[in-house]
Structure 1
């Protein structure tokens, strides 16, 4: 089986350096952050820049968008976290997470994730823990809870489940931790990967978690299955086919397909039921981020996605036979 995806559009004003994270919002806009320090908001039908902010002096590496497409949370490599109102263009929250002195010292955030229910966001960094912060404009960034993984290993990415009940953490040593946000406790540990986990993606029903790793594999986990902590525990499928690190992944809104972007300069589309790649797209450089278009109202189709990578160009792709 094959499923063709065609190049639909390039952005009109590319970033001057690699795109490190990207999101396609429910308002049909695309948000991208780059190593050049900029964040841009694009119209996904024309590729035109709608808004951008003055460049940050250092690269921006992590991005999270609210389900309603109103806000984008983004983070710089030194740990400055900002909340951007996508309707007004204003920064409505800013938190310097890299305080170094006295009892107020905190670790720099590396990856951030907005809680879909609102009110809080999660961050991770060098300690390998997850910190829950206030996302309210009053007291934005204030730490509210620390969720320890029990391992002092660098946190590569944290991501809330769509139902807002859990947050997953990926680490540089290949472990994945899932925390229950009702109890602020560790609920599962997966050791499916042999190398750093670069990217995570949840299914919309919050039952499945996909991980992408430097070991060149993607692993699909069923989080409803109890985890014993043994290698492969909780894994329901291992997807292989990339020839280098897998840097990004996303599960389609209907749960049928998954995307992966790799350092081998390709994007793959995976049929999750068949456990096989159904399309391979050659790109111009390393593909650091991929994101499906949110499901249109009343539709189950996985008709389009967006990608960003080494060359700084935002690219939109559509399934053959769709407009």
Structure 2
């Protein structure tokens, strides 16, 4: 397996790009690349062999920290430091819903695999907020339990600040990563906390389940490691190291055979999961790489699996994965 650098677009935004994801193809258009920036905008890009701006969405008054795309490809969401999540129609840019959270309580987001819910990492609320996408009402607030040894006046909220969230491919589990390095796993149907996964010593900024196995969860942390867990059996399967600084973003390839990661060491790495080792390091960016995302399969005329990365250097890079 390998990555081949395809195209880089400099100055894709006016400020650091902190978030990216792919919007799935629909019957009327191919998949689009969605990016969110500290310049307060969300942009959509036609990103096959080139990177061409489709349109720019505004609506936030502070920087955008996360973006998410509904599996239908029709709607998407952006979360900002202005405390709002904006849900919008991808093609028309019309606002469908505005979800309000207290200051800085919306971080990473992900839609349920069937699109029925949107999970939002809840920052210092030490919870995951789950919104019903039919009504845009709050369906659940999954609270991370306070350790038995802690007292109410402990600074537990700071340590448990929730940064990242991921759905299992079957939609039965939600995992969230916190500032203290712990990962919490919930049974969504019962709104029940199941257990913690431990092993990281620093903030867990990114989580992704294996597309092939709903038990396997990957995490990226400021401790520069990527961990592979059996999220049901509560066990650490493996730990992969190779970055020289924080791991800011990870994503799993659609075939389930590889992980891509972006780091504050300015590199994008490709990890072979059968070897549990980095097999390639890409140096397209000149600053921290905040987001990596594999394009989902499907869509007319799609010739290759594609990876995108975004950075503090305001650029987007595309790679072919084979």
- TM-score, normalised to structure 1, is 0.87
Q: 1:71 aligns with which of 71, 75, 81?
A: 75
* Residue 93 in structure 1 maps to residue 97 in structure 2: yes
2: distance between equivalents of 1:237 and 1:75?
32
Matches within 5 A, 1:44-59: 44-45=47-48, 46-54=50-58, 56-59=60-63
Mapped contact 1:73–1:113 kept (Cα < 8 A): no
Offset from partner CA, 1:236-283 (integer Å, 9 cap, x none): 110001101111100111110000100001111000011111111112
RMSD of the alignment, in Å?
2.1
Q: 1:182 aligns with which of 181, 189, 200?
A: 189
Residues 79 and 159 of structure 1: is their aligned pair in 2 closer, same or farther, counting only changes over 3 Å? Answer: farther
Q: Which 10-residue stretch deviates more, 25-34 or 47-56? A: 47-56
2: distance between equivalents of 1:74 and 1:16?
17
Offset from partner CA, 1:13-42 (integer Å, 9 cap, x none): 611111111012322210000111110110
1: distance between equivalents of 2:24 and 2:316?
17
- TM-score, normalised to structure 2, is 0.87
* Structure 1: 4+ residue segments shifted above 4 A: none
Matches within 5 A, 1:121-270: 121-123=118-120, 124-136=122-134, 138=135, 140=136, 142-151=137-146, 152=157, 153-205=160-212, 206-225=214-233, 227=234, 234-270=235-271
Residues 143 and 68 of structure 1: is their aligned pair in 2 closer, same or farther, counting only changes over 3 Å? Answer: closer
Match of 1:103 in 2: none
Structure 2 unaligned regions, length at least 5: 26-30, 147-156
Structure 1 unaligned regions, length at least 5: 100-106, 228-233
2: distance between equivalents of 1:249 and 1:4?
16
2: distance between equivalents of 1:52 and 1:116?
26
